[in-house]
Amino acid sequence: MSLENEENKTPKPESETIENQPINTNIETDESIGTVDTEKFSPPDSLSAEAIEIRESIQKIKAEIGKVIIGQTETIELMIAAMITNGHVLLEGVPGIAKTLMSKLLARCIAADFTRIQFTPDLMPTDIVGTTIFDMKRSEFYFKKGPIFSNVVLIDEINRAPAKTQAALMEVMEEEQVTIDGETYKMPPPFFVVATQNPVEQEGTYKLPEAQLDRFMFKLIAVYPDVNEEEAMLKRFSTDFYGEHESHVVPVIDAATLVRYRKTVEAVFIKDELLRYIAEIVSHTRNNSDLYLGASPRASINIMKASKALALLAGRGFVTPDDIKRAAYPVLNHRLILSYEREIEGVSVKEIVEGLLRKVEVPR
């Protein structure tokens, strides 16, 4: 087991404002649905000023990460969306596509405590949450906190630890606390977990239980760069073999600002029709012959939270159906289990989710 601790400094003021960038969607939408009037979903008193402030901060964070990472725009935006909604992220991808680096750089953009935990087959639960130790001088026991007690926690290769070690994360990820010997210890706010895993290599790995997967707001798939992105990457690192660009990444916001942003996300307006829309999408996963296991109410709540965060990323203080569509697949893809017949046919979860979004009527 290797532990890496890192504490960032207070962010420096920036004089330049970063230009807004268009937001892409993960799920293809049916053109027959037509355009939706977004003004209908706007409240009389929107959070325009706060939304613009948060969007500018998000753009600055993306620009800092962009000093090192080329591409992965959608993945980075969704990681930020989870961070400002008090969610956690499971980042999956083949080796060598900067999963760990993306997580570390996002942590560097926050002036808060950062801890990295490398999961291994011999890692014990006490190596994560801490343990009670006897002090010989004072003749008493005291609790020594583990590396999980941090603001931003990177769990590298989470599927390399056995089930009993993974189970140590269940309480802390859901309730932001750890219970040891009858005593409860709260996590310092804000608390954000990013876990990575490799879907290809199976030797020496352990499948995450469904209860553990359900505690992640998003499961994001890091993809290969295209030819242009890879060429730009080679040019950038042709004179930077040892990653000196990483030292140029500076904090943008501090922990207190992140906590305030999370409160702002709660205040984002969402109409009752859109809440019904979310409920119908999730309900269709539970009554679907293509699926063996549908999504839980926690998935509904996470879609609502994510859609509010995505609205803020777009500079809006209100949710639209497009925000919900964009949040649906990252929230549902690790919660749904295909039926045996569909799995044999090679149908993907993404195809099922796209079908659900086409089937459920969009509020107008």
Q: What is the 3-state secondary structure (H, E, C) of 240-283?
A: CCCCHHHHHCCCCEEHHHHHHHHHHHHCCECCHHHHHHHHHHHH
- Domains in the chain with CATH codes: 35-359 (3.40.50.300)
Task: Using pLDDT thresholds of 50, 70 and 90, give the confidence band for residue 204.
Answer: confident
The structure's pTM equals 0.84
Q: pLDDT tens-digit profile of 21-37?
A: 443 444 444 444 445 56
CA dist 261 and 69 (Å) reads: 25
Mean pLDDT computed over 261-268 = 92
How far, in Å, are 93, 153, 218, 360 from residue 107 at the CA level?
A: 19, 8, 17, 37
Calculate what percentage of the chain has a pLDDT beyond 90: 68
DSSP annotation of 363 reads: P
How far, in Å, are 106, 119, 124, 175, 193 from residue 116 at the CA level?
A: 13, 10, 16, 20, 10
